[in-house]
């Protein structure tokens, strides 16, 4: 009789333990499982450094109000503005250099909208894992490139390529990407490019 009682108590103990695990699937014998939290943090980091051609560079979104972005970035290192159009650059001269081109519809809106974004940072990547430092061959696997023209920066020569997806690539003499520029998909970006590349010599 005593043995039967022991067997019953042991069965009841393990039954309750298994039921507890079913109710709390994120709890293990060794403590809380933090995998879901880690996954969320990783997704957040990915979003901040994700390039979506024709749409956004991390948290900077094309055609959106530029006020919040400029406030978060602080005072730019350089800038120029005229006739409702402006370009501002942060982290100038470093690998994290960022430039934003904005326009304002005078008399219609009292704020400017982001029309083009340029980055020299290798931290931003597309879903195809393309970024600054990617090779021209790697880029051509994923995009059909149209040669826009040539430009010079700090005594180095570059070729600028555009795509219909709204992403452009600056390719250096070493065959690698040295900069990425985003414009809205379906727009004619040539005039916007002149803002970032004033000495651009257009291809024939």
Model confidence over 75-120: pLDDT tens digits? 999 998 888 899 999 999 999 999 999 999 878 888 899 999 999 9
Torsion angle, CA of 128/117/89/138, rounded to 10 degrees? 30
Model pLDDT, residue 191:
73
- Residue with the two structure tokens 């094309």: 62
User: Is residue 81 domain-shared with residue 159, that is, in the same domain?
Assistant: yes
The whole domain housing 83 covers 41-202
Tell me, what's the pLDDT at 172? Answer: 97
27 & 81 share domain: no
46 and 23 belong to one structural domain: no
**173 and 123 both lie in a single domain:** yes
Beta bridge partners of 176: 135
The answer, yes or no, to whether residue 133 has pLDDT greater than 50, is yes
Is residue 51 within 8 A of residue 180, CB to CB? The reply is: yes
The answer on 75 and 13 residing in a single domain is no
Q: What is the mean pLDDT of residues 122-135?
A: 97
pTM as predicted: 0.75
| 96 shares a domain with 64 | yes
Q: Which residue has the higher pLDDT, 24 or 84?
A: 84
Q: Tell me, yes or no, whether 84 and 148 share the same domain.
A: yes
Rg over alpha carbons for the chain, rounded to the nearest Å, is 26
24 lies in the same domain as 45? no
Domain count, the chain: 2
In this structure, the answer to whether residues 19 and 62 fall within a common structural domain is: no
171 and 152 in a single domain? The answer is yes
Residues 124 and 65 in one domain: yes
């Amino acid at each position: 009789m005593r043995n039967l009682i022991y067997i019953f108590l042991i069965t009841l103990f393990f039954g309750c333990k298994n039921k507890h695990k079913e109710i709390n699937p994120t709890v293990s014998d060794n403590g809380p499982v933090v995998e879901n939290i880690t996954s969320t943090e990783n997704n957040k980091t990915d979003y901040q450094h994700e390039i979506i051609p024709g749409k956004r560079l991390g948290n900077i979104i094309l055609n959106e109000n530029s006020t919040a972005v400029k406030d978060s970035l602080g005072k730019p290192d350089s800038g120029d503005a005229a006739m409702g159009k402006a370009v501002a650059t942060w982290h100038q001269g470093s690998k994290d250099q960022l430039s934003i081109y904005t326009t304002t519809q005078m008399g219609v809106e009292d704020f400017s909208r982001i029309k083009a974004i340029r980055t020299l940072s290798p931290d931003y990547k597309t879903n195809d894992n393309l970024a600054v430092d990617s090779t021209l061959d790697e880029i051509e696997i994923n995009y059909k490139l149209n040669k826009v023209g040539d430009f010079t920066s700090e005594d180095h020569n570059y070729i600028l390529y555009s795509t219909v997806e709204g992403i452009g690539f600056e390719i250096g003499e070493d065959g690698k990407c040295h900069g990425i520029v985003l414009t809205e998909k379906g727009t004619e970006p040539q005039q916007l490019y002149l803002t970032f590349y004033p000495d651009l010599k257009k291809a024939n």
